[in-house]
Structure 1
């Protein structure tokens, strides 16, 4: 039996006060010293949310960089962030990974299962996001991309067989309250606080996350 259902999972996300994208972007830069990058946004076209990039087949509508040199356009300055979002208040908030943090990306069901186990064991956790496409991203120290595949192998899984990946250098994540895909907004499952300012190493989270993803694989087998 699964430890959580979809309804229980939704209940585990605290109700959150929605604030403007500008205020959130400034706060991330000012309080967490995260680099922030304004991305695309959603626009209503014929009653349907479309990506501002204009591509009807966009793979990440409303939440991807607007320029190819986006890695150089991100800023860690709260003043610069305020100016950027003042020019385009609807721009999504993208956080480049591989700088102050990496993110371990897992399915929502596995993420909540692992989260419950880690909380029972008092494992140190950083911020965790829950996305509209039913993914959860666990923030960890940079360098996870080079370590996690080997950690997963040592746990007895081939990395290609479980739905677990790492967002590291050259990648990014969408931050709350960014909306994308027309199905809702990114939310904090565990929001940034003074308590989780110091991020865990991927070694601490890899085992429970891999186990939860592996359990999904086992349950999917006939």
Structure 2
């Protein structure tokens, strides 16, 4: 695994340049940097059309969160409702109502129903994405999440008849966990991620690198390359055991 990684490190890659690019803001741009309100709705509809259910989330107010929780640990990254799992929908009229009645709101997508998300450090994700594309492997939607994480959207494993066959809980990501982690987080049932266009404190954003028009791949086709990239990233950044942190260390 990863025997050919070295030959890419000495070559000039277009993907890091791609990741560093930030969309230019025009005078008519909305706060989301994605054009006007219609453009925002179009991006949300595209997520819904791909079958990924969404619901409203908090948004930044300066460096704070729009919620009323003092010292919110996940500012602008959490749903507005505790019922987000049942509230999440692909229904266009409902999404349109939310978007127009809450023009500043971010949106989350509930994972584990139609899709999962493999969440990795941005640097590791960039190198993995380059390798996957060069090998001709089908990669689905990919998002830059706040300039430090990369989200790979995949099909879900579904809910097996034998619950014992489900992935061990140590592989799942708690959505409220915001501690820095060099490894891969697997968002499946009971979790969520922000979807573009989303704003974060400090003028950061969540934006598509590959849009939701790309079909969702089987997560296992990406897993080896992503875990290898995470292990190498951890090793290069001084982690004691780079292979141990390819997965989350626990809940």
Q: After TM superposition, is the score higher than 0.5?
A: yes
Alpha carbon RMSD of aligned pairs, Å?
A: 3.0
Within 5 A, what are the aligned runs for 1:100-139?
100-139=114-153
What is the TM-score when the length of structure 2 is the normalising length? 0.72
Spell out the pairing of 1:29-178 with structure 2 (5 A cutoff): 29=48, 31-43=49-61, 48-143=62-157, 146=167, 163-178=183-198
CA distance in 1, matches of 2:97, 2:203: 28
Given candidates 195, 219, 222, the residue that maps to 2:236 is 219
CA pair 56-147 structure 1, distance change in 2 beyond 3 A: closer
Where does structure 2 lack aligned partners over 5 or more consecutive residues?
A: 1-5, 24-32, 159-165, 172-180, 241-251
The whole-number CA distance in structure 2 between the counterparts of 1:4 and 1:169 is 39
Partners of 2:155 and 2:44 in 1: CA distance: 21
Between the two proteins, the alignment pairs up a number of residues equal to: 204
Do the aligned partners of residues 64 and 14 (structure 1) sit closer, same or farther apart at CA in structure 2, a change above 3 Å counting?
A: same
Task: Name the structure where helix makes up a greater proportion of residues.
Answer: 1
**Closer, same or farther in 2 for the Cα pair 1:211/1:91, shift >3 Å?**
same
Q: Deviations over 1:131-161 (max 9, x none)?
A: 11510010111129728979xxxxxxxxxx9
Query: Structure 1: which 4+ aligned runs deviate by more than 3 Å?
Result: 1-8, 12-17, 19-23, 147-150
1:180 paired residue among 200, 222, 228: 200
Gaps of 5+ in 1: 151-160
